[in-house]
Amino acid sequence: MKEHNTFGIDAKCRRFIEFEDDDEAVEVAKILRESATPYIIIGGGSNLLLTKDFDGIVVRSGIKGVCFEESGARRQESGDGRQESGDGRQESGDRSQESGDGSQESGDRSQETGVRSQETGVRMTCGSGEVWDDMVATSLKAGYYGMENLSLIPGDVGASAVQNIGAYGMEASDLILCVWMIEIPTGKPWMIGNEECEYGYRQSRFKQDWKNRFLITRVTYGLTKTFKPHLDYGNIRQELERRGIQEPTAQQLRDVIIDIRNAKLPDPKIEGNAGSFFMNPIVTRQKYEKLAAKYPDMPHYKVDSRHEKIPAGWMIEQCGWKGKSLGRAGVHDKQALVLVNRGDASGAEIVALCDAIRKDVKAKFDIDIHPEVNII
């Protein structure tokens, strides 16, 4: 499993299965439901921490291909781009509105983003085994926009629908129109619309009551032919101004975000990690105001009139953990939200570091922070 998790944990499983099309997914579903062996479904392994060998089956999608549909015309880029669901399930509602889950990264997220509006008519359907960032690049090359702020997020397309990945004021749920999958208990194909996935901040039904129920085969995103940049999050605008760019192209925005991420986040090929290890906690307005009185420089992002989001990385840094190590596990010296494998660390060592950090944050801020990473 070492090559299938970005922490580089040397763990083993009883059996590893990868499916490469819908028919194989149906066969894999049959294997899983007829076996008494436990199983887990993974993507690129960028959100996974293995603490021991897994005595069961590990399943991963290898489905490739991307297909664009614009105003009734369909353009296949690669692979088979097949979109038939088999059972004729329709999306409920128009899926063109925000999900209303209150998971906004910044104050302006309550405004219409435009990427899922009906006026665009651009649908991009990707195989669940495609690398997410490759699809961002593919969308720009094709002249369609909306994914730019999610550049360089590690992992596969299927994981974007499960984790509701997000960065720089955007989330995958802002783009997802529907998810195509095979139901493991029945082997039947399903197509589920955005609202039914019940997306929240790094959450979906795929992580809750639908966990291990479906094999995701494809995800359809709604994009736009008109580039509408979202610059007011993090230091995007400042970096653009530093480069003398006032009105960036989509590629320039993507390049800036890639450079910002590369400057802050370690390369897992060099230093094992899973990107952001912790979720940013959402607290009540009353709790935020109490902390802000004590820490006036504390960064925060408005979620709604009653809640604020506080960066977990900032709290971890305030606790003195940035750049520190516990055994062979450590906290990245440029981004305290990232835990790293300093060299041959075990999953248990990284969990021990996680627990120590959580304890200190709780003691200092009276806030519980929770791992974003799936710990097995």
Residues present in the chain in total: 376
Active site residue 242: no
Write down the residue that tokens 């029945």 correspond to. 186
Considering the candidates 109, 276, 308, 349, report the single residue annotated as catalytic: 276
Residue with tokens 């450590």: 330
CA–CA separation, 146 vs 222, rounded Å? 8
Q: How many CA atoms lie within 13 A of 225 on its CB side?
A: 9
CA gap 25, 17 in Å, rounded: 10
> How many Å is the maximal CA-CA distance in the chain?
60
* 372 catalytic per annotation: yes
What is the C-alpha separation between 322 and 331, in angstroms, rounded? 6
The residue type of 47 is N
Q: Which DSSP state fits 93?
A: S
Instruction: Let me know if 46 is a catalytic residue.
Output: no
Q: Which of 252, 43, 49 is nearest to 153 (CA)?
A: 43
Q: Virtual CA dihedral for 293, 294, 299, 301, nearest 10 degrees?
A: -40
The residue from 95, 116, 123, 202 that is catalytic is 202
The residue from 24, 196, 349, 372 that is catalytic is: 372
Contacts of 347 (CB under 8 A, 6+ apart): 7, 9, 11, 49, 50, 51, 52, 375
Tokens of 24: 């194989």
Report whether 310 contacts 283 (CB < 8 A): yes
Distance CA(179)–CA(162), nearest Å, equals 10
Residue 125 near residue 220 (C-beta atoms within 8 A): yes
325-326/329-331 β-pairing: antiparallel
| Residues annotated as part of the active site | 202, 276, 372
